[in-house]
Structure 1
Amino acid sequence: MKKDEGKYPRAKVFGILQSGHRLLVEEFEGEHSKGRGFYYRPIGGSIEYGEKSTEALSREFNEELKETVEIEDFLGFIENIFYINDRIGHEIILIYNVSFVDKENYTREMFTIQESEQVSFAKWIDVMDFVTGKKVLFPDGLVDKLERGIS
């Protein structure tokens, strides 16, 4: 494995936004630590230097979905160390329970996310699809937390 010398873990923040048994996640396709194909992760992203994690999470929802969320409570963190194509990645991820301010968003089936020139989608996925392994959810360890009812 190649070591990324001189790099530090990246600080990230994700929001767990649920509607009943469904979780709002962003869909990606490509290489990931479990192979290749579709994979999902909660809405969120990197915490910028000098920015509080709650500010970063609000910013990410605003940038990605053009929506406002209420941050309800801190659920914990996950230290995510992963390998893709012999390269190591290391993230410290803070996880918060959040809810939409505009309740109409719970009836939307999909959200379009545009970052630079890349377009992706956020959609509601049944949590059991991740628990049973039918769909892949990152970061590793999040499925276990959801399964234990931390949501």
Structure 2
Amino acid sequence: MPSIRVIALAVIRHPDTGALFVDETVDPLTGLLFHRPAGGGVEFGERAADALVRELDEEYGLAVVVGQRLGVLENHFTFAGRAGHEIALVFEVTLADAADDAPDRRPCRDQPHVTGVWRSSSEDAVPLYPEGLSRLVDGLGTH
């Protein structure tokens, strides 16, 4: 039986360019390339901020500092032919080590079809999900 998944997403801005660190993924059935902020599932009993620290370490070897929660988004989607439903807790996050902002592309350790990339603030050719995320981050600027 399908269920709603709770996820935590990190809004990480590059300190020099303002670019957003995102997961770049291709849907294996449709071939659609899309971006979503890095993050992942919140486990039972885990705080969303702790899930971000764990997920970013597991996926990219990044140490992060989780800041304020920016908002909550509900996401209905289809990926690989399967319907999905997520509640996304979105947080402002900074990298603990400034050297981590250097690589343009960073392979995800536990998902071979995902690559971490810095998305330019002017990027509009590649969809950014979940819907409504841009409204949450528009006022943040670069920090």
Q: Which runs of 5+ in 1 are unaligned?
A: 1-5
Q: Distance in 2 between matches of 1:126 and 1:26?
A: 13
**Alignment match, 1:17:** 12
**Alignment match, 2:23:** 26
State how 1:2-151 maps to structure 2 within 5 Å.
6-19=1-14, 20-30=17-27, 36-83=31-78, 87-115=82-110, 118-129=112-123, 133-147=124-138, 149-150=139-140
Whether the 8 Å contact between 2:26 and 2:113 is mirrored in structure 1 is no
Whether the 8 Å contact between 1:26 and 1:123 is mirrored in structure 2 is yes
Deviation at 1:112, TM superposition (A): 1.7
Residues 9-28 of structure 1: per-residue CA shift (max 9 Å, x gap): 11000000001330011111
Q: How well do the aligned residues superpose, as a CA RMSD in angstroms?
A: 2.1
TM-score normalised by length of structure 1:
0.81
Whether the 8 Å contact between 1:75 and 1:150 is mirrored in structure 2 is no
Q: Which runs of 5+ in 2 are unaligned?
A: none
Q: Classify 1:141/1:107 alpha carbon distance in 2 versus 1 (closer, same or farther; 3 Å).
A: same
Residue identity in the other structure for 1:65:
Y
Q: Distance in 1 between matches of 2:72 and 2:113?
A: 28
Deviation at 1:113, TM superposition (A): 1.0
Q: Classify 1:136/1:59 alpha carbon distance in 2 versus 1 (closer, same or farther; 3 Å).
A: same
Q: Distance in 2 between matches of 1:55 and 1:128?
A: 30
Which has more strand, going by share of residues? 1
Q: Distance in 2 between matches of 1:113 and 1:144?
A: 26
Residue identity in the other structure for 2:12:
L
Q: Distance in 2 between matches of 1:87 and 1:104?
A: 38
Q: Distance in 1 between matches of 2:137 and 2:80?
A: 28
Considering only CA atoms, is the larger Rg found in Structure 1 or Structure 2? 1
Tell me the matched-pair count. Answer: 139
